[in-house]
Structure 1
Amino acid sequence: MMSKVLNVGIVGTGEVAQVIHLPILASMPDKFRITALCDVSEESLAYNGKKYEVENLYTDAKELVKQSNLDVVFVLNSDEYHAEVAIDAANEGKHVLIEKPMALTMEDADAIIEAKNKNNIKIMVGYMRRYAPAFEAAVKEIGGLDKVLYARVRDIIGPNEFFVNQSGANPKRFMDIPEAAIVDKQERAKKLVTDAIGDVDEQLTFVYRLLGGLGSHDLSVMREALGMPQSVIGAGVKGRFLNTLFEYENFNVSYETGIDQQGRFDAHLEIYGETKSVRVEYDTPYIKGLPIKFIVNETVDGAFKETVIRPTYKDPYTIELENFYEALTGDGEIKTTPEDSKNDLVIFKMIIDALKTKKVPVC
């Protein structure tokens, strides 16, 4: 019988854990208790263990998942290890939250799904943007359009450090990573990309990792709002910027993403109908309390009207974890399942295949 307060084990105590997950979990003591931490950095373990008063500290995730009193394992380490840790946790009967990308290959995605089903546990993939009330309200608004004419997805951001350093979370970076761990991570990364898309050059390797990181948020949002695209009409990449044109049955979707050195966060989804358009604007998740808005533009009887709706200041990560808690203890449903997440890999491959036909040079 699961207790009301869920015992959580955290694998990976780096930047995202320190800025996002650890503070939010600590702010919800009626729902979650941080019970165990794991990281390859012993200095990070010591620091975060002291800060959050956690005594069970591990440098090996295979040991953490065996801790008998854990209800949930959060997989927050580097994505090369996501599948392995999630499967190990599932095989120990633990529920799992995996930060995106869930996996980098179809084989790993299928293995996660198999472990989930075999062990009768629940897994949530951390697409927090899809739990934002503004997005969910926008999806309903989009469903009310007579037809979609066109859509645009954009995510162009500056370096994470710009936002993290102003977050107030004061994350610490530790350099005591064992050399063997660094080498293992590099070798895994190369093998996973090769297994997923073949032996490709540096440019396509960068694109695939960009899609798995930043792109998985955007394309997951696109999928929920519009469904799966039929094909990629065209794609191009120059430096650190990617453009893709998706084909749907009755409309096209333009997707643009990239990383530069500007201190701004330009992420949005916009759907165009005949007399109405719906737009969702996201801000950086690293600074707590920045609102996510949806904006409705419509023309009625010749008059153009713009309505800006801000449903809440509560951040999507908190809402995501509230949903996760209800799914584990009550009647809540998880919509960002491993089965759902697998569709991102389908879209990644569509984009890479389109780029391969162009014989993209290394830039």
Structure 2
Amino acid sequence: MPGPILNVAVLGCGEVAQCVHLPTLLFQSDRYKAVALCDISQQSLRHCGSRFHIPEASQFADLAFMLESSLSIDLVVILTADQYHAEQVIQCADAGTHVLIEKPMAQTFPEAEAIEEARKRNGVVIFVGYMRRFAPALALLKADIEGKQIRYVRVRDIIGKNPFFTSQAGMFLKYFHDFPPGASAELAKRKRANAEEVLARRGLTRQDEESWVHLGCLGSHDLSAMRDVLGMPRKCSFASRSGEESPKWWSAIFDYGDFNALYEMAIDNVAIFDAHIEIYTDDSRVKVQYDTPFVKGLPIKLTIQKNLENGAFSEQVIRPTYIDPYTIEYGKLYEAIVNGNAYKTTPSDAQNDLMLSNMIMEALVE
């Protein structure tokens, strides 16, 4: 039997809203209906309102005004700058709405703890958007390696800049910069304060500040998926970064006791999306390969390499589905809200990525 349609407000009308979340909500019209938008850019509001048929009366420049309006809102999807996430999640939870928060959930450990407290206090779903963890290929990888002795792991996310892909996604993305006076300065202030809170003992540098943001943004995708497959490591044995004030290249080695996991992350100027997890066991190599989320329908594949009993080499490529992880993620979110189903990307789970980022910063070799 069909369930209720959830009324959704989207907070932040930028790149990922236009290319991913608003279209995905539209495609799942039997479960969700976007009823409100909120952004500090009036041009972004008008553009998304026109594209996704949300009237001007349901477009807001302030989150508090939207939550206090007469609109019935079941879920708020938060797609704003990372530095505002915790404050906005708590504000929505205290208003009694469920929340889908794009990663990273929080920038500091006290923020993460406050979000979990807000979830418990209000009895709402706070669902962290780690869409890669919902790819069926990742579940197949975990099933294939179960019970096997892992010898080595490679976790890689070396990708071209987003506009290489968004410009060809057919989503008619537009960027706007009509921000209120002081908005950029306030964002920079928050970035600095968050990094100081976590990394003050290092003698914080501008490079450290940018590193913390980078690890939380792109890095949390890989670190979260790595945890899903392997659990938490014992420690980060080595970490190195290259770049000037805003480092773009990372290498780290995580110690899992019986094996090491090599982590590589970078953003470059080549239009290739090379994001994968590869597991080396005694008798196989198993790899899940992700593609850009900005182009819908690109399959997430699993490759299994091994020797057959007759000595021949075998390479099997499995494409479980063309359904993208964001669509699957929204299905899991719906089940959590409507049916009370358990979900794995909880606020408590997301705190582990702060721990991993902190491990990397502590292990840095300059």
TM-score relative to the length of structure 1? 0.95
Q: 1:347 is matched with which residue: 356, 359, 362?
A: 356
Counterpart of 1:191 in 2: which secondary structure?
A: helix
Runs of 4+ residues over 3 Å off in structure 1: none
* Alignment partner, residue 57 of structure 1: 59
Unaligned stretches of 5+ in structure 1? none
Amino acid at match of 1:113: E
* Alignment partner, residue 270 of structure 2: 262
Q: Distance in 2 between matches of 1:48 and 1:16?
A: 12
Counterpart of 1:206 in 2: which secondary structure?
A: helix
Q: Distance in 2 between matches of 1:179 and 1:144?
A: 57
Counterpart of 2:317 in 1: which secondary structure?
A: strand
* Alignment partner, residue 73 of structure 1: 76
Q: 2:137 is matched with which residue: 109, 134, 139?
A: 134
* Alignment partner, residue 38 of structure 1: 38
Q: 1:223 is matched with which residue: 218, 224, 227?
A: 227
Please state how far the C-alpha of 1:144 moved relative to its aligned partner.
3.7
Q: Judge conservation of contact 2:41–2:177 (CA < 8 Å) in 1.
A: yes
The reply to whether residue 232 of structure 1 matches residue 241 of structure 2 is: no
Please state how far the C-alpha of 1:207 moved relative to its aligned partner.
2.0
The reply to whether residue 297 of structure 1 matches residue 305 of structure 2 is: yes
Please state how far the C-alpha of 1:193 moved relative to its aligned partner.
1.2
The reply to whether residue 87 of structure 1 matches residue 83 of structure 2 is: no
Q: Judge conservation of contact 1:34–1:54 (CA < 8 Å) in 2.
A: yes
* Alignment partner, residue 165 of structure 1: 167
Counterpart of 2:121 in 1: which secondary structure?
A: helix
Q: Judge conservation of contact 1:231–1:248 (CA < 8 Å) in 2.
A: yes
* Alignment partner, residue 9 of structure 1: 9
Please report the RMSD computed on the Cα atoms of aligned residues, expressed in angstroms: 1.2
Please state how far the C-alpha of 1:283 moved relative to its aligned partner.
0.7
Please state how far the C-alpha of 1:44 moved relative to its aligned partner.
1.0
The superposition leaves residues 58-92 of structure 1 with CA deviations (integer Å, 9 ceiling, x where unpaired) of 11112223345100010111111111110000001
Q: Distance in 2 between matches of 1:105 and 1:37?
A: 27
Please state how far the C-alpha of 1:331 moved relative to its aligned partner.
4.8
Q: Distance in 2 between matches of 1:334 and 1:286?
A: 24
Unaligned stretches of 5+ in structure 2? none
Q: How many residues align?
A: 354
Please state how far the C-alpha of 1:184 moved relative to its aligned partner.
1.2
Counterpart of 1:296 in 2: which secondary structure?
A: strand
Q: Distance in 2 between matches of 1:273 and 1:174?
A: 48
The superposition leaves residues 164-195 of structure 1 with CA deviations (integer Å, 9 ceiling, x where unpaired) of 10010011111211122222111111111111
Q: Judge conservation of contact 1:293–1:311 (CA < 8 Å) in 2.
A: yes
- Within-5 A mapping of 1:327-342: 327-342=336-351
Please state how far the C-alpha of 1:50 moved relative to its aligned partner.
2.1
Q: Distance in 1 between matches of 2:82 and 2:177?
A: 19
Q: 1:284 is matched with which residue: 285, 292, 295?
A: 292
Q: Distance in 1 between matches of 2:226 and 2:267?
A: 20
Bigger Cα displacement from structure 2, 197-206 vs 7-16: 197-206
Counterpart of 1:237 in 2: which secondary structure?
A: strand
Q: Judge conservation of contact 2:301–2:320 (CA < 8 Å) in 1.
A: yes
Bigger Cα displacement from structure 2, 192-201 vs 100-109: 192-201
Counterpart of 1:335 in 2: which secondary structure?
A: coil
Amino acid at match of 1:253: A
* Alignment partner, residue 25 of structure 1: 25
Q: Distance in 1 between matches of 2:135 and 2:236?
A: 28
Q: 1:189 is matched with which residue: 183, 188, 191?
A: 191
The superposition leaves residues 267-323 of structure 1 with CA deviations (integer Å, 9 ceiling, x where unpaired) of 100111100121000011111111100111122332321110000011111110011
Q: Distance in 2 between matches of 1:150 and 1:324?
A: 33
* Alignment partner, residue 216 of structure 2: 212
Counterpart of 1:149 in 2: which secondary structure?
A: strand
TM-score relative to the length of structure 2? 0.94
Q: Distance in 1 between matches of 2:238 and 2:182?
A: 41
Q: Distance in 2 between matches of 1:222 and 1:309?
A: 20
Counterpart of 1:242 in 2: which secondary structure?
A: strand
Q: Judge conservation of contact 2:191–2:209 (CA < 8 Å) in 1.
A: no
Q: Distance in 2 between matches of 1:45 and 1:74?
A: 15
Q: Distance in 2 between matches of 1:141 and 1:61?
A: 45
Q: Distance in 2 between matches of 1:129 and 1:248?
A: 22
Q: Judge conservation of contact 2:93–2:122 (CA < 8 Å) in 1.
A: yes
Q: 2:334 is matched with which residue: 295, 309, 325?
A: 325
* Alignment partner, residue 272 of structure 1: 280
Please state how far the C-alpha of 1:96 moved relative to its aligned partner.
0.3
Q: Distance in 2 between matches of 1:331 and 1:9?
A: 21
| Matched-pair identity in % | 44
